[in-house]
Structure 1
Amino acid sequence: MLDINLIRNNLSLVKKNLDRRFQSEKKEIADHIFNSDKKYRENLQELEKLRHEKNVISQNINDLRKQNKPFHKELERAQSLPQEISKLEQETNLLKERINQGLYKLPNMLHAKVPLGRDATKNKFVRKWGRPKKSTKLKNHVELAESLNVADFDQGREVSGKGFNYLKGKLAQLDFALQRYGVDFLLKKGFTLVNPPIMLRRDTLLGAVDLEAFENVIYKVENEDLYLIGTAEHSLVSYLKNKTIKKEELPIKICALTPCFRKEIGGHGVDMKGLFRMHQFNKVEQVVFTTQENSYKILEELQKITEEFFKGLKIPYRVIEICSGDLGGKFAKQYDIEAWMPRQGEYAEVTSAGNCTDYQARRLNIKYLENGEKKYCHILNNTMVATSRAMVAILENYQEKNGNVKIPKVLWKYTGFKEIKH
């Protein structure tokens, strides 16, 4: 969430940020927070006065009693104060709750150089790598996987509905190979592997995700205060919840391999039957906790790591920077890698690297200590590999005229085979 002091002291800057994000309708929320916060602070001052008055009257009553002097007036006031204080406390707590609810609805402050644009059509091209090939004669990944008898998409839909699949044989082995390669890649980059919970309580999950995403994406466990994670990021960023760490310990780099669960899958046609968008998939995720001054440097480092990964797979890709109107609410800046899909003749998103600055840390109360002062950490996250999408890219880029699929060389030691054959 945003720093309340930013709204108190620079409301116009917050509103300009909403304009840049094409979310001007949320200015009303910002105004409501500003006014509620003003009343909240006035109430705190009044509560302090009332509590002080209560203490003074109690002392006066004691003094008058010792002096055998009447204190009816003081006693009457002393008896009325607790109810008055309680009523004001309830009103103040309600104001605080409304302020926090409003803060959850406001997006993070954008980095100054985020490209301006209303939607994905305005995302900025950064660079590309590899030589894309294009052929309408290629099979799409669904047809190819079914022809190789390494996936049963229909049976997945039969038992669980759209967005679920059975992978088998060498495609299932390829999935595991990508997982192992992704984890090993990050371990060599100094990350610590974590095996995190894949279910979180509501209050924790709300610290990690956008409110809109929470409502539209996250699965709830019935009759339990538990929710399935949409990505390991949700568990990893919560790892330091309510903790204060020493600056010298930063950056803290952690990664995880987990199944991920998401309600919405979007898309049509092949996306509704296949691997690209699913309700359940496997992903290797990386998260970094760092100081406020180093976060944008680390964002570039994270982006470089994932580009190296896809270069190792020899999958042509391009990098785009997400524009202001397409950027998720928790991000201040974000890059996507889009892999080339030759059958589709276009690039498609396979990873996202973003800097959330202190937005998640404020919600989760994650701080570091510098010269006796507590500051909120900056938190970054990046997809190492979502194996389902990487497999689509491999199936399309490595398929041969005879319908077989070669395996990228870097994965041979994990798969134990070099090709998926008929």
Structure 2
Amino acid sequence: MVNRAMGEEIPEDRSEGFGERLLGVLLDRAPYLPPQLIAPLLAEEVARIGGRDVSLLLQDYAQELLVPLPGRKLHVSQPQQVIDSPAGRAFLRGQVVEVPQTHGGVRMYLPLLDGSDQVGVMALTLDAVDADDLRLLSRLASLVADLLVTKNAYTDQFFRTRRLEPMSVSAEIQWSLLPPLSMSVPQVEVAGMLEPAYHVAGDSFDYALNDDILHVALIDAMGHGLDAATMATVAIGAYRHARRVFVGLAEKYAFMDDAISRQFGPDHFVTAQLMQLNVATGEMELVNAGHPAPLLVRNGQVVRQLESATTLPVGFGGEVPRIREHTLQPGDRVLYYTDGIIEEHVAGGEPFGEERLTRCINRLGKEPPEGVRADLRRLSHMLKRERGGLTSDDATLFMIEWRGGAADYLAVLD
């Protein structure tokens, strides 16, 4: 290809710049790079631009700490709180945070984003930072995040770093089943949380964005331990199978119902909330199979429950469910939750209840929003404090924020 100017053909400049070479080395070696060599290669690349003391901080499963990944040539310090730390601010907001150092230089915290799911934070120190440094390091952080996610399938190294206490077998199963905890595209953002992180069994959620349709399922399998985790696995597997053969919500329910009843018999069940949202129009379809109704949150305050005709839980052979339709406004949030949130007993022995949940949401809504992932985490920890730190049953939160609009501009090169 050539550029034409003044009638002359001028060859395009395809020379590789300094930054391109650094990123190119990482891209070229990525397919063959063993997981344990990500750290030393990253440290070498950062050193080429004058950086030092590189740390990779990964989120622990309870979403309370950012834990340094051990590795050759990495700077390993103490874990940092997700709340009230520079690394935490970069993580929750998805933005670069710069902290001037007492003895000179700038400590930089760059979010590690896989797509839009926060993997962790990359930290390093530079003597000074200009726009070129910031652009290069942001791109480097994106590549490192992709590497960590890709290589995670081949190693236990990252899992061991994130696990700060013993995890039950049922929780191992559930965490391996989950999609990324958050997703953000121009039209919609989602985030989910599971409690107790190291002992969850029957609760789970799943989602997928197929063209303009966001598909979401929230489930709660009866019982505890491995039995509940096994039922949840079958339920989510049946849901994914139905979703991938392009059937509607009623058919998804039937697929799940048949799978649970055939595998576990008539005495076992799974409650479920199934949803489809057109991210271009805000039109939402909802099926409720024994779950608490989701809450519509507008301008930070709970407006109402999004009611739907409740059918029998999955596994009981209920009738074909009736589908309830709702239309969201730009900026609306929808909060889904399992009964472990509202049925936990508080001081005096009474259930936590939906009214307390609503008050907590409204109280949080009076503070400046920080994004769905950060706000859901704040809500989860507020609820836990209000319950006196108790989580005797699985408790799941899942939030959607609909924005509308289009994303086609992202596929157009300037």
Q: TM-score, normalised by structure 1?
A: 0.21
Higher RCO, 1 vs 2 (CA within 8 Å, ≥6 residues apart): 1
Q: Which has the higher strand share?
A: 2
